[in-house]
Every structure is written in C-alpha cells, then in structure tokens.
Structure 1
Amino acid sequence: MTAAIETEDLRKRYDDVQALDGVTLSIPAGSFFGLLGPNGAGKTTFINILVGLVRRSGGRAEVFGHDVEDDYQQARDLIGLAPQEFNVDRFFPIREVLQHKAGYHGIPEEEAGERADEVLRRVGIYEKRNTRFDWLSGGMKRRFMLARALITDPDLLILDEPTAGVDVQLRHDLWDLITELNEGGTTVLLTTHYIEEAERLCDEVAILDSGNLLTVATPEDLMERGPDRITVTLRDPPATAPDLDALAATASDDHDVESVELDGDRLVVTARQGGLVAPDLVRDLDRAGHEIVDLDISRTSLEEVFVEMTREDDATITGDDEADERATEAATVAGDGGERR
C-alpha cells in the first residue's frame, strides 16, 4: 500500500540555518501520526514543504505517491491543512470562505455550498455560517480552521496545534471529531505541544529536534524506554532501605533497578519496566518481614520521555526557531490554507 507521506533525506536550509537535516520518514495510510518536537525543531518547515509553501533544498517528499513539487496539484488536492495561525480572509462570512476554498480545488459552486454546510454542521458552528471570522469566539475559530481543512474531503488531514489555547471541553470535542475522521479512513498528521494529546490519540509519533529525526515509535514503546516509580507504603518504617544490590540482582537487564529511596514508611524504587520488578520487590519485602499497606506503580509519561530526549534545547530563540518562524510566516502570508496564488 502507498504510504500517506514518504520522505527520504528531506532537507531545507535557510541561509545559514539547517531547518531539516535529512529526514527520512514513512507514514502509513490510515494512521494517526504525531510529529513532536520543541520550538524550532522543524515541524512547521516539514508541513509547509508537504503543502507547497516551502521548497525543499534536497531529498524527496511524496503524498500518496505524488511528489509535492513535481505533482503539486495532485498532492495538494489530497491534503486538508488546519494551520496554527489564523490565516483566514476576514472580510467574508465563513460559509463564503469555505466556498472559495473549495473553488480553489475545482469543486463546482453548488457542490461547494453543500460541502460548506456539511462541514460547518460537523464542527458545530453551522448557526454561525453568515458570521465573519473576526466575530467568532476563539473556540469557534479553531472549529472553523478544522472545517476549512475538511472542505475538500481530504485523504490526509494535517493539524498543526489544533487545540492551542482552547478550553478542556472543546479540546475533548475536537479529539472525538478527529478520532472519528481517522476511524473513517482519513490519515491524520498531528503536531502538538500537549504531549498528553499525542499519547492519547496517536498510533505512532516521530520526535524531531533541530531538524533531525530522533526516533519513530508508538507512545507505548517510548514510555517503556523511561523508568517507572514503584511506591510501597509499609506498616512500620524500616530502619534502612532494602539492599539495592539484592533488589537489582532479582531484575533482568531489561528492567534494572536504578535507585531505592526510603522516606519514613514509604519506599520508592525507580526501575525499568516497574510492573516486572514489583513482584520481586514484594517477595523481598515479605521475606524481610515487612508488611505492605499500599503499592503504586507510576509509569513514565510520554512527556517525560520527550523532555529527556530533547533536554539539550534551551528556551532562547535559536537559528532553528528562526527557520520555523519563516515557514510559519510563509503560511500566514499565503492566506487561505496555503494555496499558491
């Protein structure tokens, strides 16, 4: 089966800044895929190459087998983009904006009107169809950006920070809608700074940092790379912590015990694959005569793994941040969903 997105050695350079440095990635059709990375990682540049806003410096990028430059129109017609920036024509009612968007892709006027009504109902703002974009609330604006991405019934839906700045209820509403679209066969590419979002929604995630692809894995596989915390509450505080070497000897190389800390009646053990270590820990404590009152295993979150993998990034604006800012600026200037004028 043809991949939804296929890149090979994809590179983009802005003057003296390498925004993408040889990214090779294959995203299966029908998948829900997350693209994660700190500010300036290259996520926006990657997306804008796919939709034709930015020309690659080297390598290959295809959408369902269509080269994004050589077969621009075919590739672009398959993509629905909901960018982070509100790059919308603000002087027309939103239903008209959707009709114009559909027209860019060759959809006849009557059908465009029907599609506009359908997607506005789907995202829950049909009653605002004759309202200008600027008069919508922040949450409604996010819903409209999704509606605009869906107007062409795309095979690939690209969502760049779709829930940025929205309340918890709307975030969950959007999650449900996006999940429904994916279950219906639409491939979803999601970028988000809400790591919980990726952990909950995505089949696989790729982590970018400074234009380099660090890893591609399922959220579950990534979380297994980090240590878990086993917290045991004992009936009576022991005089000293159980021997670390003895505990480590009961664990295989795949889930080594990293530390043992005693705080009053609470014993905290940090270990790889804590669920496999816990039974050995319980047996050791029982043999030593300790009565267990409570046991809790706290798994490493995807966010913790993400921070660990990208911890060398600092909070200052780097050259990579500047490159992604240029890519975002290009998307904003281009206007309605990144159409070439």
Structure 2
Amino acid sequence: MSAPAVEITGLVKRYGSTTAVDGLDLRMARGRLLALLGPNGAGKTTTVEICEGFRKPDSGSVRVLGLDPVRESAALRPKIGVMPQGGGAYPGVRAEEMLRLVAACAANPLDPAWLLDILGLGTARRTPFKRLSGGQQQRLSLACALIGRPELVFLDEPTAGMDPQARRLVWDLLGALRADGVSVLLTTHLMEEAEALADDVVIIDGGKIIAEGSPSDLTAEGTDGQLRFKARSRLNTDLLAAALPEGYLVRESAPGAYRVEGRVDPQVVSTVTAWCAQQGVLAEELHVGKRDLEEVFLELTGRELRT
C-alpha cells in the first residue's frame, strides 16, 4: 500500500513520426481522484492505455499500484477497473447478462443486481446493449468497471451522453468511491466535472504536462486585480472601460463572460454593476480574483479547434 496508485517517469510513446507522449512524468497518490485533461491529440488516451497495459511504452517507467502494467499484467488486472469511452459491451447482450459476465471474472464481485439499481439501470436489466440510450450504455460501462471492487479505476469520459440527473448520480458515486479509498483517474472534456470532482488536475498538451495542481490552485493562480462577471453577450466593452478609471482593461473572454483587469475595489464593483444596469442587463456570478477551470484550460492550450 506504500506504492502510489500511478507513477510515471519519462514516458515516451511514438506512432511513426508522431510523438504522442513526450517524456511525461506523473505521480498519483492512492485514494485520490485525478482528472487528466487536454485537447484532442494531447496524449491522454495513450497515457491511460499504457497504464492499463493495453499499449507498451517506447521508453520510460510506468508503475500502477506498484506493478508494471505490461510485464505484471496478470497481477494488476484484478486490482483495476477500466471504463473505455466506446462502451466495450457486446451489442446483443442484455445489460444484466453483461454485468454478470464481468462479475464472473472477479474473485469478490459486487452484487450485479444491486449495482444496476444504484446506477438507475434496474428497469433496463433485460434490454440489449445496442438498445440502451447513450447515457445508459455509459452507466453500464461504469458498472462493469466497478463490479470487481477495484483499488484503482480508469474512467474515459465517464459521463459523456448522460443527462444532468444521471451525471449527478455518477458524481455522487465517484465521491463515495473516493471516500472508500478507491483511486480514480478520469479523463473528461467537461471542465465543470473536473472542477467539482478532482483532488488533483493534470493538463497535458503535445504529450507533456503543462500544468498541474488542485482545481483551486489552478483557478486562483495569476488572478490578482481581476473582476469577472457574466451577462448578455456582445456588450460594448469599450464603453465599460471608458466608465472605469484610466488603465483598466475590459474584454469578453467567452460569449457572455467578461473580465475587468485592474485594481478591484468596492467602487470598481459598483461602477461595473451600475453600467450593466444602464444597459438593461444584470451582472451575474461576479468573482474577484477567480477563474474557472475552463478558462485556465483555454489559456494554456489555446482556443483554436483541434483536428
């Protein structure tokens, strides 16, 4: 139990002339929930698949629960759960049949019927996988990852395609897993999800780590002298800047999301809210010295669309 959940040193993986992972170092303590973030093609999936033992690294050291995921895969696999983004179930198999098949491979599985009920799939237990909704397929894949009571769970986009109720249910379940000491490594494109769930966040791009820390550390860094608020999109930021003392900058960082840069005091806050009232809009979600994780992500990785 003294070994970290995941420990990666100098990991390199290439596909022909493309370097997917470029000297990556990562350490994940046990009992933590780590969110691995990055744009498409950043190296997230390759890194996770190497940790799961599905791919071999070209160089570097990878230890999962103290074991080499390739050479010691037989010892590691009973200790981990894997939820791939693509579902992973046979199209024609019924939900409960699939879960019981996976449970039969575990030494001490959870009760399949109980787990189906917990994940809101009790009424769909006899439904073939291909007839489940996208969110139901995701929940069944999550059940398959958890049925064997793993010490460490790898989740790839665990709430993709889920409605808000199902997403909150999964969030609660992941919180319960962490409270029970289970380590969770998830990839997600939902910054709200990472900010709400993660103990630690690692952002990678170009196969390298470009930022890491707790969500609060990442969102607080470099925010002195900033006021943020939300309102109707496409307000005239030049007019707002003119209403403020000289030297203040105002910009719309995303549609409907505004940033005022300069020394923030009560008078500045009053000026901003009064100006918005003059425009007939309400300034909402005012924050002083606080970014959200999505803005941090975009500042670090750029705003251009990745192919």
TM-score range, shorter chain: 0.7 to 0.9
Cα distance in 1 between the residues matched to 2:295 and 2:134: 30
2:65 maps to 1:75:
no
Equivalent pairs, count = 277
Give unpaired runs (5+ residues) of structure 1.
245-258, 263-267, 272-276, 318-341
2:305 maps to 1:309:
no
2:216 maps to 1:217:
no
The equivalent residue for 1:44 is 45
The equivalent residue for 2:62 is 61
The equivalent residue for 2:120 is 124
2:233 maps to 1:230:
no
Q: Contact 1:33–1:203 at 8 Å: present in 2 too?
A: yes
| 3-state SS of paired residue (1:60) | strand
Alpha-carbon spacing, 1:167–1:243, altered in 2? closer, same or farther (3 Å) = same
| 3-state SS of paired residue (1:119) | helix
Cα distance in 1 between the residues matched to 2:128 and 2:243: 68
Asked which structure has the greater CA Rg, the reply is: 1
CA shift digits 1:249-296 (9 cap, x unpaired) = xxxxxxxxxx3459xxxxx7415xxxxx53xx34xx59xxx9869594
Match of 1:147 among 143, 148, 167: 143
Alpha-carbon spacing, 1:261–1:304, altered in 2? closer, same or farther (3 Å) = closer
Match of 1:166 among 162, 168, 179: 162
Higher RCO (Cα < 8 Å, 6 or more apart): 1
What amino acid maps onto 1:144 in structure 2?
A: L
Cα distance in 2 between the residues matched to 1:118 and 1:159: 21
The equivalent residue for 1:84 is 85
What amino acid maps onto 2:100 in structure 1?
A: Q
Q: CA deviation at 1:35?
A: 0.2
1:100-119 to structure 2, matched below 5 A, reads: 100-105=101-106, 107=107, 115-119=111-115
Cα distance in 1 between the residues matched to 2:241 and 2:137: 58
The equivalent residue for 1:265 is none
2:242 maps to 1:242:
no
The equivalent residue for 1:21 is 22
Q: CA deviation at 1:31?
A: 0.4
1:314-329 to structure 2, matched below 5 A, reads: 314-317=304-307
Cα distance in 2 between the residues matched to 1:200 and 1:316: 25
Structure 1 residue ranges, 4+ long, deviating more than 6 angstroms after superposition: 237-240, 290-293
Q: CA deviation at 1:226?
A: 4.3
Q: CA deviation at 1:222?
A: 0.8
Cα distance in 2 between the residues matched to 1:74 and 1:222: 36
What amino acid maps onto 2:79 in structure 1?
A: L
TM-score (norm 1): 0.73
Q: Contact 1:207–1:215 at 8 Å: present in 2 too?
A: yes
Q: CA deviation at 1:77?
A: 1.6
CA shift digits 1:223-255 (9 cap, x unpaired) = 1124364379xxxx99864244xxxxxxxxxxx
TM-score (norm 2): 0.81
| 3-state SS of paired residue (1:23) | strand
Give unpaired runs (5+ residues) of structure 2.
230-239, 252-258, 275-285
Q: CA deviation at 1:217?
A: 0.6
Identity of matched residues, %: 36
Q: Which has the higher helix share?
A: 1
What amino acid maps onto 1:168 in structure 2?
A: P
Moved more, 117-126 or 136-145: 117-126
Q: Contact 1:62–1:75 at 8 Å: present in 2 too?
A: no
What amino acid maps onto 2:46 in structure 1?
A: T
Q: CA deviation at 1:22?
A: 0.9
1:161-310 to structure 2, matched below 5 A, reads: 161-227=157-223, 229-230=226-227, 241-244=244-247, 259-260=248-249, 269-271=260-262, 277-278=263-264, 281-282=265-266, 285=267, 296-298=286-288, 299-310=290-301
